[in-house]
């Protein structure tokens, strides 16, 4: 079975540019999570979708960040405009239950560098 798929794996862009990160969750999973990982702040939950609906976006840092899930097999995280402080590894994860006991499966991550 394919795991969570993320693209691109690496992204280098210049400040002010729009960045779009993509995620394909595991087929059949009904919950999707976007995380950001930095040395300073560790792993932070940005947004949580359940059945394609955003349930908790309290972790989205600011209005420059937006996320969508148009269907059960695809989600995007967009940063516009990007800033150097957005440089981080962004992970997508999916799970079946969306509850605490539902194991979250992580994708390989997208390493974003904003120059």
Partner 1 sequence: AQSVTQPDIHITVSEGASLELRCNYSYGATPYLFWYVQSPGQGLQLLLKYFSGDTLVQGIKGFEAEFKRSQSSFNLRKPSVHWSDAAEYFCAGSSGTYKYIFGTGTRLKVLA
**Site residues for partner 1 per CB under 8 A:** 4, 31, 33, 42-43, 45, 48, 50, 55-56, 91, 93, 95, 98-109
- 24 in Cβ contact with 1 (< 8 Å): no
- 21 in Cβ contact with 112 (< 8 Å): yes
Please, what is the minimum distance in Å from the beta carbon of residue 78 to partner 1?
21
Distance CA 99, CA 112 (A): 29
Please, what is the minimum distance in Å from the beta carbon of residue 100 to partner 1?
3
Nearer residue to partner 1 within complex by CB, 10 or 17: 10
Distance CA 47, CA 59 (A): 6
- 41's CB contacts (< 8 A; 6+ apart) are none
Nearer residue to partner 1 within complex by CB, 68 or 111: 111
Nearer residue to partner 1 within complex by CB, 76 or 81: 76
- 10 in Cβ contact with 110 (< 8 Å): yes
Please, what is the minimum distance in Å from the beta carbon of residue 111 to partner 1?
8
Please, what is the minimum distance in Å from the beta carbon of residue 89 to partner 1?
9
Nearer residue to partner 1 within complex by CB, 44 or 64: 44
- 59 in Cβ contact with 51 (< 8 Å): no
């Amino acid at each position: 079975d394919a795991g969570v798929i993320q693209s691109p794996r690496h992204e280098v862009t210049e400040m002010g540019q729009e960045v779009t990160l993509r995620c394909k969750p595991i087929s059949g999973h009904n919950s999707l999570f976007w995380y950001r990982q930095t040395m300073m702040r560790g792993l932070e939950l940005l947004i949580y979708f359940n059945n394609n609906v955003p349930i908790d976006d309290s972790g989205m840092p600011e209005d420059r960040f937006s996320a969508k899930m148009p269907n059960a097999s695809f989600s995007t995280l967009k940063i516009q405009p990007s800033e150097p402080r957005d440089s981080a590894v962004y992970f997508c994860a999916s799970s079946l239950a969306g509850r605490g006991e539902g194991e979250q499966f992580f994708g390989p991550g997208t390493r974003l560098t904003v120059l």
